[in-house]
Amino acid sequence: MAAAVLVLGLQAIAAPRSSEQEAVPRDALTLVRQALAALEVSPPDVDVATERVIKALFAPDTRGVDMPRVRDAAQALGSEDATAGAAYLMQALRPAEAGPTRLDPSLFTPLPPRATSGSEAYGLLGLAALLVAAGSLIVRR
């Protein structure tokens, strides 16, 4: 009885590991996007990016990815150059029909939050207060 409980416990512990391994995508496009995302954090996670780029090199589905640029990114990441690696990965995601034009790196940079002016913020705050007051009147009736 105790042996059966031990075996079931070990199976439960081992099961999440196999599901984590299956969760890794098999297409190069997703892997390259994940590698680029790992390089966009501060500080860049070069180890995760390198792992994803290597998996992308061996991915069976390479549609939508310029694989020579991925190889260049792997070399740059191997020498711990996150900036060059990110540049190569952005080039690898360029659509084939775009031709020799370069991608604008600002397209991959998130926009800073927009600051509202004082009068606009007070107007929104007043509108929200009116909506809360109207809602409380409706609920009380």
Nearest to 94 by CA among 129, 66, 58, 136: 66
pLDDT digits (tens, 9 = 90+) for 65-110: 999 999 999 999 999 899 999 999 999 987 654 455 565 666 666 6
Whether 6 has a pLDDT exceeding 50, the answer reads no
Contacts 24+ apart (CB under 8 A), 53-59: 53/77, 53/85, 53/89, 55/24, 55/31, 56/28, 56/31, 56/32, 57/28, 59/26, 59/27, 59/28, 59/31
pLDDT at 5 over 50: no
Confidence bin at 11 (pLDDT 50/70/90):
low
pLDDT tens figures, 31-64: 999 999 999 888 888 999 999 999 999 999 888 8
pLDDT of residue 43: 86
Looking at the chain, list the stretches that DSSP marks H as alpha helix, in order from N- to C-terminal side. Answer: 2-22, 28-40, 46-57, 67-78, 82-92, 118-140
Phi and psi, residue 36, nearest 5°:
-65, -40
Quote the pLDDT of residue 4: 43
- Rounded Cα–Cα distance for residues 26 and 63 (Å): 12
